[in-house]
Structures are given as C-alpha cells and as structure tokens.
Amino acid sequence: MVNIRLRSVSCFFGFLVIFLLTSPAATAAAGQATSSATAGKPWWFWPIVLFFFCLVLGVLAVMAGVGGGVLYVPLVSGFFPFHIDFVRGVGLMVALAGALAAGPGLLRRNLANLRLALPVALVASTCSILGALLGLYLSSLNPNIIQACLGITIVGIALLLLFSKNTEKPVVTNQDAIGLALGLRGAYWDDGARESVEWKTHRTALGLCLFILVGLLAGMFGLGAGWANVPVLNLLMGVPLKVSVATSKFLLSITDTSAAWIYMNRGCVIPLIGVPSIVGLMLGSLIGVKILAIAKPKIIRYMVIIVLLFAGLKAMDKGFGLGLLG
Amino acid sequence: MSNQNDEALKPTREQFIYANLLIIGVWAGIAILFITYAIYLFGLLPPHVKISVIPSVWAKGVNEFLEITHSPHGWGWVSLLTKGDFLNYIGFVLLALMTILCYLVLVRGYIRQKNWIFATIAILEIVVLSLAASGIFGGGGH
C-alpha cells in the first residue's frame, strides 16, 4: 500500500519536472528569441503560466530542500521572455518572502540562532549590496556576461548539492577566539533523539570570510544563498545540520533584504511578474510541506539537481551565444 | 541528556518578539500584495503603464524599460501610489522593511542587557539595510 503511494507520488513529481520542461514557457523559450516569444499572446498569458510554474517550483524546492530563489532565477530566466534584470529582482523578493515566512517558526523553536546569524548576516548583507551593484553594472554592459556567470554558478551549485555530504552533529573540540568572543554557541532540543544538543563553532574567521563570497553571489545573481550558507555553517564552522539549515533560512531574510532594496530602487521589480511569482512559490511551498510526509525526497532531490544542471547549461549556452540548447 | 524544558533550550525574549513582529508583518505584506494586485489587474485604479504594454518591454534591460515607460526609480513610486501598478509597491516595501523593524527590537534588547558587541552589530546592520533602502546605491537608473 505504502509502495503504491510512494510510486504514485514519484510519478507525480516526474510529471512536475516534465511540466517544468514542457510548459508553454519552455516551449516558447526553446523555439525563439525572447522578444518574439511574447508576440501574439495576450498580456495575461505569461503571469498565469508564471503562477503555475512557480507553484510547481515551490513544491519541488521544499521536496529537494533548496530555496525557491536558486530554482527561480535560472529557470525563469531560461524559459520566460523576461530580461535577466527583472528575473533577479523578483528572484530576490521570492527568496525574501519565503525566508521571512519561515523565520518566526524557526526562531520560536530556537533552531535559528540569532547569536550565530547576526555577525554572519552583517558580512553577507553588506557584500550582497556590492554583488547587486556589480551584477546590475555588468548587466548594463552586456546581459550575456551575467547569463554566462549565472550558468557557471548554477552548474557549480548543482554539483555542490550532488557531492556535499553534510554532517548531522559535527564534533568541535576547541572553539576559536572569535567564536568564543562572540559567544557563538547554543543548544537545541532534538526531537528524534530525545536529547538536547549543545554546539559551538570553530574556524569562525574563515567562515566569515566565505560569507563575503556568499553575499556577493546572492546579490549579483538574485539567488537566495541557502545552498552556500548550509555547507559553510555545517561543514566549515561545525554547526549542527538542523541549526545550520534553520539559521541559513533566517539569514536569507537579512542578506536578501539588502540586495532586494538595490534591485527594487533600480526598478527591477515589476508587479505583473513579481506578485504571481511570490504567491505561486509560497503556495507551492505549503503544498510541498504536506506532500513531504509521503514522498521520497531523495529522488526529488536528484530530479531537481538534473533540472538545475540543465538550467545552468542553458544559461551558459545563452550567455556564450552558442545556441546549442535552443 | 537534559530536560526539554531546560532554560538553555528556550529562545530569548528578543527572539520571541522578533518572531511575533515578523509573522504579523509578513502575512500583512502578502495580504496587501494580494489585494493591490487584484486592484491592479481589475483596473480599479488606472495603472501608470498600461498592462498590455508591459509584455512588449519586459525583455529589455531595466534602464531602457524605465525610459520607455517613464517609470521612476528609487522612492519615486511614492508619488504614483494612486496608480494601480505602483500601489503594489506597498506590499513589496513592507516585506523589505520587516528586517529593519525587527532589528530595532533587537537593539533595544541588547542595550538593556548591556551586550555592547551585539548591540553594535545590530546597529551596523540597520545602517547597512537603511543605506540599501535609501536609494543612495540603487537609485541611479539612467
């Protein structure tokens, strides 16, 4: 009985991925240049398609354990006729809305740790401003530069998701001086093991330095940076996986805020694109959480990694002007 | 193994206030977005840029888009709040302002606790986010 349910859920997700790749947006993008893709379609066509596309993305993002932004930017810029400036601006708003909505629950359960988040957020959010300015400057020179760099980054993220092996409870024997001075330690209740887990950080200086890069990439490409936050917090700084994931989600609400303001002030957030994206992804995330209980997240994760690889290669293809992938 | 009710496992007071403020702000922001988008789509308020025009310019870069549609950058949208499209900015801005508002609560808490390191970090974050929001960096559209 359970097997039949699992199989049908797996089939459902197979259909979702196929929908992503065969939706009118994908078909339009594969066939022609973006400007002509809009011709002959009424104005309401693209927002409606975008809403359902984002609904599916929201479901897949939860199932694969990635943020909405990292799927949104490469896929929407690859398959929809919007300029990369608007996709990045809205992508940041999408990631921001998701992170803000998740924040209260994570803070109340003491999974997202303010002490850990605050210093890291200061570094990442400052650098995400620089990343946003750099991204907008490069895009004004030639949008293909951003497309190509985005493609390379997305392929890198897909490989990172494929090969990184996070540690549930890393062992930290000696806390470094910075971690000690900032009091970067805490405890949380592990429901599964029925015990409290105490943690502290190490290699804090190196971790903070890496958040400079994380902030730059988040701002430059409009990606939520959960894919980078978690490995740095968990693998490098020795924070338990649950705290890393929760603090990372909370961190996005701060990092993405600063970059989102830069894009919004430049006029990169068009309501006609922004609202269906935010609402679609949030609804999709709610549906995804419900389905998570019966689905096999591992299969979905691999499907999403394949989709990301494809989207990254497509962005590279577009950026370098090769025309191999349509 | 320690008790689940251990004080060390509980979130701080600031964490609770932050979470409560955030939940109100986020859902208010989403609700406002929903309502203002309906006003925009159903044409209850005339838009600054006709909806039917937008698909012909959304493939252009932002600078060109602003020039063609005569749209403002920075906080210029405030003067166009009676227009259906720019009305949607209320929701976007509320979402983007939430972190700054929540940080103000944190600063107060850290100052009370005389935790000067974290009070300074929180104040610096407010400065960074306020600078980003001010339009000093991002306002130069064209």
Helix axes B13-41, B89-112, angle to 10 degrees: 170
Q: Which of B21, B128, B136 to mutate to test the interface with A (most CBs of A within 10 A)?
A: B128
Domain ranges of chain A: 2-319
Which residue in A34, A136, A282 is closest to B59 by CB distance? A34
Q: Give how far B116 is from chain A: nearest CA, Å.
A: 11
> For residues B13 and A208, which has the higher predicted lDDT (pLDDT)?
A208
- Answer whether A108 sits within 8 Å of B16, measured CB to CB: yes
Q: Using an 8 Å CB-CB cutoff, list chain B residues near A129.
A: 128, 131-132, 137
In chain A, which among 212-251 make CB contacts under 8 A with chain B?
none
State both tokens at B89.
Answer: 């900015």
State the Cα–Cα distance between residues A208 and A182, nearest whole angstrom: 12
Instruction: Provide the pLDDT for residue A32.
Output: 44
Per-residue pLDDT of chain A (326 residues; tens, 9 = 90+): 445 555 555 555 555 555 555 555 555 544 444 455 556 788 889 999 999 999 998 888 877 777 788 889 989 988 899 999 999 999 999 999 988 888 888 888 888 888 999 999 999 999 999 999 999 999 999 999 999 999 999 999 889 888 877 788 888 888 999 999 999 998 888 877 788 889 999 999 999 999 999 999 999 998 878 888 888 999 899 999 888 988 988 898 999 999 999 999 999 999 999 999 999 988 888 888 777 666 666 777 788 888 889 888 988 988 888 877 76
Which residue in A104, A143, A182 is closest to B19 by CB distance? A104
Instruction: Provide the pLDDT for residue A31.
Output: 44
Confidence (pTM) = 0.87
CA-closest candidate to residue A57, choices A101, A104, A84, A25: A25
Residue B69: pLDDT over 60 = yes
Which residue does chain A place closest to B89, by CA atoms? A271
In chain A, which among 89-118 make CB contacts under 8 A with chain B?
89, 93, 96-97, 100-101, 103-105, 107-110, 114-115, 118
* A185-190/A195-200 β-pairing: antiparallel
In chain B, which among 45-104 make CB contacts under 8 A with chain A?
51-52, 54-56, 58-63, 65-66, 71-75, 85, 88-89, 91-93, 95-96, 98-100
Instruction: Provide the pLDDT for residue B55.
Output: 93
Size of interface A-B (CB pairs under 8 A): 211
Instruction: Provide the pLDDT for residue A33.
Output: 44
Instruction: Provide the pLDDT for residue A139.
Output: 92
- Answer whether A265 sits within 8 Å of B61, measured CB to CB: no
Residue B111: pLDDT over 90 = yes
Average pLDDT over residues B33-55: 94
